[in-house]
Structure 1
């Protein structure tokens, strides 16, 4: 029995599983970073509500805007090309732009609504 060959084959890496595991790790890292940031923003809201500090209020609002744009930066990575079958490419382009603008506005409102709810829940959980 060749122990060197056995040792090399003892731990195998499967390429497809590594890619999937890396995707899960990357998503988990992003999610927990985002969650930590929401907890921080919620803590700022809690402290400004308890102290009445104007500085903490503006710091909380700035942090909320920054976390909103951070979330929106992920939503802006896709382009819907729904009208590619239309022969008039100029019309297809403007229709695609209108649809993508509408989706961006909906994502903006959804992220804003979700961030406000999450931060409010975190700040009230501090009580």
Structure 2
């Protein structure tokens, strides 16, 4: 388990992150704002039988809401070369309000990545 904020960045109003470890048995992202878990998103198991990296990619999509009523979508990819994710805040009509909320969330968000281990 580890905090991944250092590997997370804001790009085109999207929070993106990655981890080079392979999710051999899957796992989950624990998404927190102000240390409150707002969602636990599954990390899928990659396709081990694939001959090429692009064929090993498994994908998981989830929508969730934070405690302030903001809506998000999360997309997680898992492959033979690690895990990547993208978290998007639902767009709003007022662009300035949207950017302010996004900047605020970026300062308060933390993502812990947890891999399932053999028992």
TM-score by length of 2: 0.27
Higher strand share: 2
Higher helix share: 1
Whose radius of gyration is greater, 1 or 2? 1
